[in-house]
Amino acid sequence: MPFPALDDLLRDAHVVSLPLRDRFRGVDHREALLVEGPRGWTEFSPFLEYDDAEASAWLRATIDFGWGPEPRALRDRVAVNATLPAVDAGDVPRILRRYPGCRTVKVKVAERGQSLADDVARVRAAREFIGDEGRVRIDANTNWSVDETLAALTELAPFGLEYVEQPVPTVAELAEVRRRIADTSLGVRVAADESVRKAADPLAVARAGAADLLVVKAQPLGGVTAALGIVAEAGLPVVVSSAIDTSVGLAMGAFLAASVPVLEHDCGLGTAAMLTADVAREPLLPRDGGVDVRRIDVDVDLLREHAAENARRRWWFERVRASYELLAAGS
């Protein structure tokens, strides 16, 4: 893969701050750095708390999508799920109406400061909105223990869960959750997310038999090319998801989903609906239950309108430099 000079990455880079409709992961704005490479616009947007080593994988993805080979898309459209933050049950219809035609809802649970009763109410409301034919999946973001997971699933499984995503932090705990579910009549599958994208060895969870399916994200795994290699080696069904990206980052995820040989599950690539602003006049919003697989035509006026403050721009440029140095040393 071509490796651009650092100056080429930063010379015309833009840093934006996009407001969210509802608070998510403790933030109400999403920051991202965008740059145009020979293949088109590409994105660098690791979460703020990630260190340089972890962020360097995201920069590899930035380079892969902007300078690397064009992904070989096998489909031109990808079905997506609605994403439901840890809101009050009464807010569920308002949020899910932003995802027209979506047949699957991903519900955030195990939010700090909330109770299992809050989760039950939210999942019940999601099920009522989506109907009996729709699918409901839950994501605990590692915030439960093994025992808490089993207790929560006992309460939530009656709502017909497609799967529970990363309920516990470690691969060993995931394997234990999966084993204990098998000893019950709960019938809930286990998906791994953080144990893939934040792991030194993203294939460890598959080798350990700790998950029924994997949630894969293009940026944290080093780009479409690298992620496809992981999917092929893991040999498990996958859900391609996003990290509240701009439409540019979502396009990267859409190309990954479009390139996976077998795609049986709706993907978490409809999250442009969580933003009140984006970087394109035609953002990658979910329509009729899916998103198109396409490069994004970024509008420079929108980049200027939503430009981050100078201090934040400098912070992101330094982050690129640090990540670039790690990539260069590794190459």
Among candidate residues 58, 62, 71, the one with its CA nearest the CA of residue 220: 58
Catalytic residue among 14, 60, 108, 135: 108
Residues facing residue 268 across a β-bridge: 241
The encoded tokens of residue 317 equal 């440029």
CB 286 within 8 A of CB 76: no
Catalytic residue among 197, 217, 265, 306: 217
Looking at the chain, how many residues does it have? 331
- List strand residue ranges (DSSP E) for 92-251, in order: 104-108, 135-139, 161-165, 189-192, 213-217, 238-241
Binding residues for Mg(2+): 139, 165, 193
Among candidate residues 186, 196, 181, 180, the one with its CA nearest the CA of residue 156: 186
Residues facing residue 14 across a β-bridge: 34
Binding residues: 139, 165, 193
CB 232 within 8 A of CB 251: no
Give residue 282's Cα distance to chain centre.
21
198 is catalytic: no
What residue has token string 């990808």?
78
Contacts of 33 (CB under 8 A, 6+ apart): 13, 14, 15, 43, 44, 45, 316, 317, 319, 320
Which residues are catalytically annotated?
108, 217
